[in-house]
Amino acid sequence: MGLRCGIVGLPNVGKSTLFNAISNAKAESANYPFCTIEPNVGIITVPDERLEILEELVHPERVLPTVIEFVDIAGLVKGASKGEGLGNKFLANIREVDAIIHVVRCFEDPNIVHVAGKVDPISDKEIIDTELQLKDLESVEKKLQKVQRSAKAGDAKAKKEFASLEKYKNHLEAGLSARSLDATDEDKEAVEDLNLLTAKPVIYAANVDENSVNTGNEFSKALEENVKNENAQVVLISASIEAQIAELTDPEEKEMFLAEYNLTESGLNKLIRASYQLLNLVTYFTAGVKEVRAWTIGRGWKAPQAAGVIHSDFEKGFIRAEVIKLKDYQEYKTEAKIKEAGKMAVEGKDYVVQDGDIMHFRFNV
């Protein structure tokens, strides 16, 4: 399952600088270089040091990291829900992403004019929120009109659906996002086909000045306070630093550059990690002489589901999974020695895959 994140934000908040930095970033693996699918879509590899460990142990012909897709969603301005700034087209793009990265300006720079005339991260956030909420409200109201006739006619299922839709309508009209509604599974089912924009998980990328990238500043702290009751994360990032990192191809140079700012990783890597945490994703690996590969799945998935990510036949004809832990691979070096030591577990259909598992599936179709 590929991870797809949409980057949104008002003009002049640093969104384009950040996306361009991502677009110019050199992928860690030559086997899966950065590519641009459309002018506003790019794919980059997810860094994972466990792949490097497996590569040294297995010596495969190729290594394939898992990937993340970034979509630069332009055109979000006040009035986007009514079509301003090509809003309808770009709001439709948001429906297709798994998570939203909302870039919020948290820096002052007299050379970069703010659209509202002053730096105000809360106001900026609320403008985007309002546009997404208005679009969701439109979707909910349209469905309410369709369901209402059946509900009035006495259809029990339609009555329940109507009640759930009313909950969302009232919540959105109050200027609140769908993700913050205390919704039951039944409520969520009622809007599942609407793919609500404000139901999507959000990471706020607080774009700060270079001096505030570790500690934050008054703007980023105000943003953190404002979103503390949302199911969201705030990640400090400096788009200008990211743009400079993207120009560096040598890993040692990159490390030295990060050290100058007392950083241990780039903002891009922080965003990727935050996305995985927010969406509750984990990684498992397959390892053989032909290929060492990372696979992204949901936390809590069982072995047959995980196998299905490779191929649907693996899930349909699942027999068992052979599982090795990375620390055992590091200790015993080869699969044969791992088996001899009794460290290869044989797991059935109810096994819950753990982050970092190295797996081999047996199936019969």
Note the pLDDT of residue 308. 97
Domain boundary among 169, 198, 227: 198
- pLDDT tier, 69 (very low <50, low <70, confident <90, very high otherwise): confident
Question: pLDDT tens-digit profile of 24-55?
Answer: 654 333 333 344 445 577 788 888 999 999 99
Q: Does the model's pTM come out above 0.85?
A: no
* Structural domains counted in the chain: 3
Question: pLDDT tens-digit profile of 302-352?
Answer: 999 999 999 999 999 999 999 999 999 999 999 999 999 999 999 999 999
Strand partners, 358: 285, 324
**Residues spanned by the domain of 339:** 300-363
* DSSP label at residue 283: E
9 and 77, same domain (yes or no)? yes
SS (H, E, C) 299-346: CCCEHHHHHHHHCHHHHHCEEEEEEECHHHHHHHCCHHHHHHCCCCEE
237 and 104, same domain (yes or no)? yes
Domain of 220, CATH number, reads: 3.40.50.300
15 and 107, same domain (yes or no)? yes
Query: Cα–Cα distance between 303 and 323 in angstroms, integer?
Result: 10
Domain boundary among 164, 198, 232: 198
Note the pLDDT of residue 35. 44
Does 101 fall in a domain? yes
The amino acid sitting at 76 is L
Domain of 326, CATH number, reads: 3.10.20.30
Domain boundary among 247, 278, 309: 278
Domain of 179, CATH number, reads: 1.10.150.300
